[in-house]
Amino acid sequence: MGKAALATAGLFAIFAGMATAEHTRRWRQSTYEEFLKGTTHGIAVRSDGRLELAPKFTQLADADASYLWAVKLDAKGTPYATGGSPAKVFKLDTNGKAATVFESNELSAQAIAFDAKGTLFVGTSPDGKVYKVSASGEKSVFFDPKTKYIWDIAFAPDGTLYVGTGDKGQIYAVAPDGKGELFYASDEAHIRVIAFDGKGNAIVGTEPSTRSPS
């Protein structure tokens, strides 16, 4: 047998040895931590380790703001976004164009709400106020809580506007005429969010202990 034939035979022997060394391997991933080691495409990993189809995200509009703090829909389903700085509120049309409907020299527009008539109300921070914005875009101070932050505003079913503030952790109830009074004083520093259930009860989220009194 020539040298070339011997070399070829040697290569076949090596490859044959490698082939016999391979075998079927199985592994199982079932926990949240295990899935996070991989890269997901089109799926979401739940905290219990289950996989489900992920929502698809597309850009609706570019508001050209450093921050966007809140998004609300009016009665017609038109989205409004609050941002800063400076404090601005943007109205987003069906083509994704952002039009400024409110602006002030304060740092941030932190919260927005609509009353039963569709009138826009805006809460600003810091050292901010609650503004009422007319259909023509004119703004006027609706309520001044004389506090540092306004984190959230929400209308109750009876038309009362509730204003969540910091850094004293207070909620103010403001009547339709703009007259307000202290409704709730928390031992927390901030009232971050306010919502109402079907019975009209206020559900409140606080900081820093993240409690939800109602």
Is residue 132 within 8 Å of residue 119, measured between CB atoms?
Answer: yes
Query: Does one domain contain both 106 and 174?
Result: yes
Q: Given the structure tokens 């703004």, which residue do they identify? A: 139
The pLDDT of residue 28: 75
Is pLDDT at 10 greater than 50 in this prediction? Answer: no
Query: Does one domain contain both 78 and 162?
Result: yes
With H, G, I as helix, E, B as strand and everything else as coil, classify residue 21: helix
Residues in the chain: 214
- Which residue range is the domain that position 146 belongs to? 67-207
pTM over 0.95: no
Domain count, the chain: 2
Q: Given the structure tokens 């739940």, which residue do they identify? A: 46
Query: Does one domain contain both 26 and 115?
Result: no
* Mean pLDDT (whole number) for 180-207: 91
Is pLDDT at 13 greater than 60 in this prediction? Answer: no
Q: Supply the mean pLDDT for the chain.
A: 83
DSSP 8-state class, residue 152? E
CA–CA distances in Å: residue 114 to residues 36, 43, 195: 40, 35, 13
Of 38-42, 95-99, 117-121, the range with the highest mean pLDDT is 117-121
Contacts of 153 (CB under 8 A, 6+ apart): 111, 112, 113, 121, 123, 130, 161, 162, 163, 164, 194
Round to whole Å and give the CA distance between 160 and 154: 8
Query: Does one domain contain both 11 and 108?
Result: no
Inside any domain, residue 85: yes
Inside any domain, residue 214: no
Contacts of 140 (CB under 8 A, 6+ apart): 131, 132, 134
CATH classification of the domain holding 199? 2.120.10.30
Inside any domain, residue 31: yes
With H, G, I as helix, E, B as strand and everything else as coil, classify residue 128: coil
Query: Does one domain contain both 103 and 132?
Result: yes
Residue % of the chain over a pLDDT of 70: 87
Query: Does one domain contain both 74 and 48?
Result: no
Residue % of the chain over a pLDDT of 90: 43
Q: How confident is the model at residue 54 (pLDDT cuts 50, 70, 90)?
A: confident
Query: Does one domain contain both 8 and 84?
Result: no
